[in-house]
């Protein structure tokens, strides 16, 4: 039996990057996946890849900054599958490389709405169905920026720190309901790292900060950790900040 067989997972921000890699990894592990993002055409491409694993896939256009879209996401999941076992809060809309004093209201509102409020709402929307089945895995994607106070990450760092805060509270409040809540700090090649490398911060500089000496790959280094966190293998782990970062934040 595959690790996630007979499980239903919702993954936000699934049109590319970590969300895409997670969806494919979950499908390979046997899970039915609900993938959402603002670009439906990209979701359909990813849905096709996931369906090749013999699982059911439900792509849903969803702007996580709109509460009604989140409610529709969970409603469609329940209508189609009758349950939700795993929630991966991955989506965020933000802008890095901006000093605190240069932050605009738009950057503030978009980051807070997509990166914190969406996580808050989806956790609460999925909770009753996880409680009903006395099992659930909530995984919130965090960031090392929230640990080290990275310059230029302003509200993004604050939001990611806040996400882990509510993750710990939910772990305490929902443990008796069979629900685990953890956050993941990953380091991997992404749109963000590519933007950093296009500036003054080089790829070699980033590698020098990582004890294992390389930047993670979504499919090889990060997605398998998420599969573990979503599976019964992690049933005694909750309220934790798990780092899949090659040791980059080992001293924090």
What radius of gyration, in Å, describes the C-alpha atoms of the chain?
Answer: 17
- C-alpha dihedral sign at 133, 59, 20, 201: negative
Catalytic residue among 156, 189, 214, 236: 156
Has 127 been annotated as catalytic?
A: no
CA distance 56 to 46: 12
Q: Record the tokens describing residue 185, joined without a space.
A: 């700090």
Cα separation values, 71 from 12, 32, 81, 112, 136, Å: 13, 19, 15, 18, 18
**Dihedral angle, C-alpha 47, 48, 51, 57, nearest 10 °:** 20
* Inter-residue contact 245 to 186 (CB < 8 Å): yes
Please tell me what DSSP assigns to residue 222: I
Q: Which candidate, 116, 121, 6, places its Cα nearest to that of 75?
A: 121
* Residues with catalytic roles: 156
């Amino acid at each position: 039996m595959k690790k996630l067989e007979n499980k239903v997972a919702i993954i936000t921000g699934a049109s590319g990057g970590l969300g895409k890699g997670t969806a494919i990894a979950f499908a390979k592990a046997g899970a039915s996946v609900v993938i959402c993002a603002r670009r439906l055409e990209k979701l359909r491409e990813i849905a096709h890849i996931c369906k090749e694993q013999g699982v059911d896939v439900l792509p849903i256009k969803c702007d996580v900054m709109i509460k009604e879209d989140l409610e529709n996401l969970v409603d469609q999941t329940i209508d189609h599958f009758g349950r939700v076992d795993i929630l991966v809060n991955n989506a965020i809309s933000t802008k890095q490389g901006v000093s605190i004093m240069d932050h605009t209201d738009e950057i503030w509102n978009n980051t807070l709405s997509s990166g914190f409020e969406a996580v808050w709402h989806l956790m609460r929307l999925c909770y009753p169905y996880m409680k009903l089945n006395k099992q659930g895995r909530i995984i919130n994607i965090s960031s090392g920026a929230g640990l080290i106070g990275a310059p230029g990450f302003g509200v993004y760092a604050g939001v990611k720190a806040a996400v882990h805060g509510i993750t710990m509270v939910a772990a305490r409040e929902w443990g008796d309901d069979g629900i685990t809540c953890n956050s993941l700090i990953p380091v991997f090649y992404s749109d963000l790292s590519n933007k950093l490398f296009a500036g003054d911060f080089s790829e070699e500089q980033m590698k020098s900060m990582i004890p294992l000496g390389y930047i993670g790959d979504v499919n090889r280094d990060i997605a398998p950790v998420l599969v573990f966190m979503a599976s019964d293998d992690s049933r005694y782990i909750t309220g934790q900040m798990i780092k899949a970062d090659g040791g980059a934040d080992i001293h924090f």
